């Protein structure tokens, strides 16, 4: 029965490879040389510190993936054009900033002179005269240098306008001496001189003076509106329609056969009216060109008008009276 005690599934040749003599000698020698490793021991830490890389030696620059992008000629041209456009815009902004700084410096230079109360100096009347000057005018102080020339020319145009209206009175007086039926022209010429001389000063010369002094958009638009009608009046006066109080070309030419001396005097005044019309058109174009450089606009004019009306004491008193009346009735 001994044969039944054996394992039928056992390998008849059961050989353990680790029982080999060479493997046994190798493993026994390695076991004796192995020691326990403690990474926190002083000996191990001392040995490891010799090979530690200092943190300063590590580069602080982030890792960047270098890519090579090739641009087409069209993309390169577009990029160059965009850069040129940006440079041009930067130069334009720098130019405007320099101009604003210059204007601000001019205003600061003029501020100490105008910080106090200024006395009116126009019209230049004697001190003993009972009527005092009504306006203050100083081109050197109030008007920037680049606008001073055109502003003075507008003042000279107003003076020439006033002289022409006075000569028109004399010409219409001569016209009246040639015939009593021309008395209407003489009377109207006196009215035009007394009316248009101060009205022109207040309605179109002073607005353009204020516009150049304070860069006011509202003053510019008010000047353009009034001066356009002034140019139309100059043209009518140059034509010289009879019975309108103007010794223009039609009225003066009609007097050649009647009275040559009166016709010559009237022709001289008609020439003055013609010069007024030509100078007015020329200066209107110059003021408009200066206006376009100042940065004024219709929107700014509306804002200035609104703020001026709201801050006006007359408007405030009228609004207060209206409100009190409304609450009183309620």
> Concatenated DSSP letters for 222-268?
HHHHHHHHHHHHHHHHHHT-TTSS---HHHHHHTTTT-HHHHHHHHH
pLDDT of residue 130: 86
Written as six digits, the tokens of 252 are 């003066």
277, part of any domain: yes
134, part of any domain: no
Higher pLDDT, 10 or 171: 171
Q: Report percent pLDDT > 90 for the chain.
A: 38
Task: Read off the pLDDT of each residue in 171-195 and give the average, rounded to a whole number.
Answer: 93
- What values do phi and psi take at 124, rounded to 5? -70, 90
Integer Cα distance of 267 and 253 in angstroms: 8
58, part of any domain: no
Q: State the pLDDT confidence band at 301, using cuts at 50, 70 and 90.
A: low
What is the chain's mean pLDDT, rounded?
77
Q: State the pLDDT confidence band at 37, using cuts at 50, 70 and 90.
A: low
246, part of any domain: yes
Query: What total number of domains does the chain contain?
Result: 1
Express each pLDDT in 211-239 by its tens digit: 999 888 888 989 999 999 999 999 999 99
Peptide bond into 289 cis (omega under 30): no
pLDDT of residue 5: 53
Q: Is the pLDDT of residue 91 over 50?
A: yes
Q: Is the pLDDT of residue 47 over 60?
A: no
Q: Is the pLDDT of residue 185 over 90?
A: yes
Higher pLDDT, 154 or 52: 154
Higher pLDDT, 17 or 223: 223
pLDDT of residue 88: 84
Express each pLDDT in 92-116 by its tens digit: 888 888 877 877 776 666 554 444 5
140, part of any domain: no
pLDDT of residue 156: 96
Please give the model's pTM, rounded to 2 decimal places.
Answer: 0.60
Q: State the pLDDT confidence band at 43, using cuts at 50, 70 and 90.
A: low
Task: Read off the pLDDT of each residue in 24-42 and give the average, rounded to a whole number.
Answer: 55
Express each pLDDT in 72-83 by its tens digit: 666 677 777 788
Q: Is the pLDDT of residue 308 over 60?
A: no
Q: What domain range includes position 193?
A: 147-303
Whether 205 and 158 have beta carbons less than 8 Å apart is answered as yes
**3-state secondary structure (DSSP) of residue 124:** coil
Whether 177 and 262 have beta carbons less than 8 Å apart is answered as yes
109, part of any domain: no
Task: Read off the pLDDT of each residue in 40-45 and give the average, rounded to a whole number.
Answer: 55
Higher pLDDT, 118 or 86: 86
Q: State the pLDDT confidence band at 293, using cuts at 50, 70 and 90.
A: confident
Written as six digits, the tokens of 225 are 């509106």
110, part of any domain: no
207, part of any domain: yes
């Amino acid at each position: 029965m001994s044969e039944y005690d054996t394992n039928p599934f056992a390998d008849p040749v059961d050989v353990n490879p680790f029982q080999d003599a060479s493997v046994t000698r190798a493993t026994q020698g390695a076991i004796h040389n192995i020691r326990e490793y403690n990474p926190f021991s002083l000996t191990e830490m001392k040995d490891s510190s010799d090979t530690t890389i200092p943190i300063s030696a590590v580069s602080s620059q982030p890792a960047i993936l270098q890519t090579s992008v090739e641009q087409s000629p069209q993309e390169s041209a577009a990029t160059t054009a965009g850069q040129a456009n940006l440079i041009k815009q930067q130069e334009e902004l720098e130019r405007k900033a320099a101009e604003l700084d210059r204007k601000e410096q001019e205003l600061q230079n003029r501020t100490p002179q105008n910080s106090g109360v200024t006395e009116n100096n126009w019209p230049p009347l004697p001190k003993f005269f009972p009527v005092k000057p009504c306006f203050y005018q100083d081109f050197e102080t109030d008007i920037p240098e680049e606008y001073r020339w055109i502003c003075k020319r507008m003042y000279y145009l107003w003076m020439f306008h006033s002289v022409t209206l006075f000569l028109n009175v004399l010409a219409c007086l001569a016209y009246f001496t040639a015939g009593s039926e021309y008395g209407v022209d003489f009377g109207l010429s006196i009215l035009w001189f007394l009316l248009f001389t101060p009205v022109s000063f207040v309605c179109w010369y002073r607005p353009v003076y204020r516009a150049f002094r304070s860069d006011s958009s509202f003053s510019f638009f008010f000047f353009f509106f009034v001066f356009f009608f002034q140019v139309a009046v100059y043209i009518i006066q140059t034509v010289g329609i009879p019975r309108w109080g103007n010794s223009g070309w039609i009225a003066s030419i009609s007097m050649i056969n009647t009275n040559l001396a009166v016709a010559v005097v009237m022709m001289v005044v008609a020439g003055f009216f013609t010069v007024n019309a030509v100078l007015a058109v020329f200066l209107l174009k110059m003021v408009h060109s200066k206006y376009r450089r100042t940065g004024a606009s219709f929107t700014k004019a509306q804002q200035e008008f609104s703020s001026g009306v709201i801050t006006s004491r007359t408007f405030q008193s009228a609004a207060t009276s209206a409100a009190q009346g409304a609450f009183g009735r309620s």
